[in-house]
Amino acid sequence: MGEKPVVRIGHLRAVDHLALGIAAFGPLAWGRELEYLFLEPVSMNGWHQVLERLCDKGIDGAFLPAPAAIDLISAGADVKILLQGARSGAGLVKRLGANIKTMADFKGRTVLVPHELSIHTLLVHRVMASVGLEAGTAVTADVVLESMAPAMMAEAMEYDREGRIGGFIAPEPFVSLAVESGVGTMVCESETLWPGHPSSVFVLRDAVINAWPDAVFELVKNFVNPGMRPNDLVAAAVSFLGQDPGVVEKMIGKQVVGRAGACSLPDIETLGIIHDYMQEALGRVGCETGVGGCLELSFARKAGVVR
């Protein structure tokens, strides 16, 4: 079989990256190791840091926001999208006491987003446009979008003495933690803004794909079929997310254990919508070949992955 590679995958401590946690920490419960690779999750605070490490080759792959991944590959990065991350939800939160009753009340406020090219940013951009507000990074925008690591958002909102921040949008567990701590209240789940929207995608460096196909296939299989017994699933998720077991149980309790955290086949049509929206509404230069040139789906199809 030869020497097993160490494959380093960057991620946030987010529920939609849970497949990585199960693949990495699950074997401790199962009493077995991955056969073709050593998997090393690399936890980071924000997506800017993940992207930086990916670009300087400090990591081999990552879970990235779908828009950021498309933009990165369009710019010539030697990575491909292999899978779509789990659809585990996100939410728009308003600061407690901000006197925000409707979306229009966000006018003149700042909304924190995980990355300027995240699905969360696109969602805020779209929903604000629907009530006649312009959302953007310019200080003159009706709603100012400010990028911040999700782990810092609740604290930033709590200590915003001037009331500049109206709220934030982020993946779980950051929404639940902010609500439970009393810093904010939920405005809506992201699913109500775009049903079935993607969040993160799993990307891997071309060099790893070409050099270690058996390892890549094993990784993909584990990401799309991370089924575990309930107790083992919670234990793996606690280790990965670094959260209290009670919080973790709440977040994953409604999911079917056999599919909790499971990645899926990227939806080319949906990624195309994101690609076009980035070009038309955000002014980003897209991939000349369309989103098809960003994908490597042979491993997912070989593993029998479905959406």
Rounded to whole angstroms, how far apart are CA atoms 254 and 261? 12
Domains and CATH numbers, the chain: 6-87+198-302 (3.40.190.10), 90-193 (3.40.190.10)
Coil, strand or helix at 169: strand
Q: What pLDDT is attached to residue 258?
A: 44
Q: Which amino acid is at 270?
A: T
Beta-bridged to residue 149, according to DSSP, are none
Rounded to whole angstroms, the Cα distance separating 199 from 80 reads: 16
Please tell me the predicted confidence (pLDDT) of residue 169.
97
Query: What was the pLDDT predicted at 46?
Result: 92
Nearest of 199, 177, 201 to residue 72 by alpha carbon: 201
List of E strands, the chain: 6-11, 38-43, 61-65, 79-84, 90-95, 110-113, 135-136, 143-147, 165-171, 184-189, 200-205
- pLDDT for residue 24: 82
**One digit per residue, pLDDT tens: the chain, 307 residues?**
458 999 999 999 888 888 888 888 765 544 557 889 999 999 998 999 999 999 999 999 999 999 999 999 988 899 999 999 877 678 999 999 899 999 999 999 999 999 999 999 999 999 999 999 999 999 999 999 999 999 999 999 999 989 999 999 998 889 988 998 999 999 999 888 888 888 899 999 999 999 999 999 999 998 887 666 666 777 777 878 877 777 777 766 645 444 556 788 998 888 888 888 888 877 776 666 678 889 999 999 998 876 6
Q: Tell me which residue has tokens 């406020």.
A: 109
Question: Could you count the other beta carbons within 10 Å of the beta carbon of residue 195?
Answer: 7
